[in-house]
Copies of this chain bind each other. A is one copy, B any other.
């Protein structure tokens, strides 16, 4: 059976990366690994390692993304929880067999990683991303 290994990241929707860094970097003293425009997410993301996980600050660069809609409807805050798994394909098959509602029934493949989202209605209101390094 596929296994959840760790929290890969907690994604936080922010309206402004610099403003958010004023707290996460300057306030808490966390080190920012890098800030990068991620075209596939239509967002600028600040990657901040915290132990074996990361906090990711996500600022949408287009209005038609999930993060932009979340910001418009709920304001800034935690957007999704990403769990790293050892076999995402097997996990998705198992979840589907259990009747868990998925946003992505097969994993999206990107260089070095595969990812898929579980529907928040299946996860008690939490948008859960599954992630596997490849």
Contact = CB atoms under 8 A, between A and B. Distances in A.
A19 B126 CA distance: 14
A20 to B, nearest CB: 5
Interface of A: 1-7, 10, 12, 14, 19-20, 23-24, 26-30, 50-53, 55, 57, 74-78, 81, 83-84, 91, 94-95, 98, 100, 120, 122-126
Contacts of A5: 51
Contacts of A98: 26-27
What are the nearest 10 A-B pairs in CB distance?
A: A6-B51, A76-B125, A77-B125, A78-B78, A76-B124, A20-B124, A27-B100, A7-B53, A23-B123, A14-B124
Stoichiometry, copies per complex: 2
A51 B7 contact: yes
A122 B27 contact: yes
Contacts of A100: 23, 27
A49 to B, nearest CB: 10
B52 A30 contact: no
Contacts of A74: 74
A126 B70 CA distance: 14
Nearest to A130: B28
Residue with the greatest number of chain B CB neighbours at <10 A, chosen from A6, A23, A75: A23
B10 A30 contact: no
